Amino acid sequence: MNKIYYFTGTGNSLQISNDLSAELGECTIHKIAEYSGEKIAGNTLGIIFPVYNWGLPLIICDFLRKLDVSDDTYIYAVANFGGLPGKALDQCKDILKENGLKLSSGFLINMPGNYILGYGAKSKGVQGKLFAKEGKKIIYISDCVKSKKECRIEKSYTIIDRVCSNYFYKHINEFYEADQYYIADDNCTGCGLCAKRCPVNNITMIDGKPNWNHHCELCVACIQSCPKKAIDYKGVTGKRKQYLNPNVKL
């Protein structure tokens, strides 16, 4: 049996997980947020996640440190990115090694960017081209996994990316408290979709308004999901185009 564990805010990692599962067959997909440290039984284990701040999301670091699998499990990782991939896969390899485990393969996939704190959604045309490339990359990854081939850990070819990764990533620990800058304005109808789609259950609804509980991954799913565009971050995201992966249901 093949196992895939994923973390996603707006659906890119879920699409990759679904597409890869379809190619592998006999595969189950699980949310990383629901993993509590139990032993995972499987011939192969895929870890699918987005790149944050040129590195690993905090929830992925925690998952890797408590991961429990059989010694003969083939472990691979797929990091998807909208800007630059940084050193996420190198970090993944190093944390697994500290846990006595081996990352046999690591893959990078460029997906439509969703970092609304910095920019709005790409055009449908650009998204379509990236999805087409993702489909081709999935075939390559599935072939490697099926044969349990040890492939090289893919790296960024951009020198400035790898040089600056450590500088940007040092701010990752600030993410938990970053939700203090979210504001829900009077357009909020209290629908609760932001709370439902938060992948780490960081939002509770109080008196019909979202309340953030300071365990944020800064995935911005709440901003991207709001049908009324009522959630803003530091006053910079309100006019930017939202993005949710159109190929999956969150």
Could you give the 3-state DSSP secondary structure of residue 240?
Answer: coil
Residue position matching structure tokens 């947020």: 33
Convert the pLDDT of each residue in 133-168 to its tens digit. Answer: 999 999 999 999 999 999 999 988 887 777 788 888
How far out from the chain centre does Cα 92 lie? 13
Q: Which amino acid is at 11?
A: G
Structure tokens at 185: 């304005």
Convert the pLDDT of each residue in 7-31 to its tens digit. Answer: 999 999 999 999 999 999 999 999 9
- Domain range 173-233, its CATH number among 3.40.50.12160, 3.30.70.20, 3.40.718.10, 3.40.50.150: 3.30.70.20
pLDDT at residue 97, as a whole number: 97
User: What pTM, to 2 d.p., does this model score?
Assistant: 0.96
Which whole-number Å values give the CA distances from 144 to 31, 39, 104, 107, 220, in the listed order? 23, 24, 10, 10, 32
Higher-pLDDT residue of 157 and 131 is 131
Convert the pLDDT of each residue in 185-212 to its tens digit. Answer: 999 999 999 999 999 999 999 999 999 9
Confidence of residue 59 (pLDDT cuts 50, 70, 90): very high
Superfamily for the 2-168 domain: Flavodoxin domain (3.40.50.360)
Could you give the 3-state DSSP secondary structure of residue 90?
Answer: helix
What single-letter DSSP state applies at residue 84?
Answer: -
Q: Where in the chain is the domain with CATH 3.30.70.20?
A: 173-233
Structure tokens at 66: 């408590």
Confidence of residue 43 (pLDDT cuts 50, 70, 90): very high
Q: Where in the chain is the domain with CATH 3.40.50.360?
A: 2-168
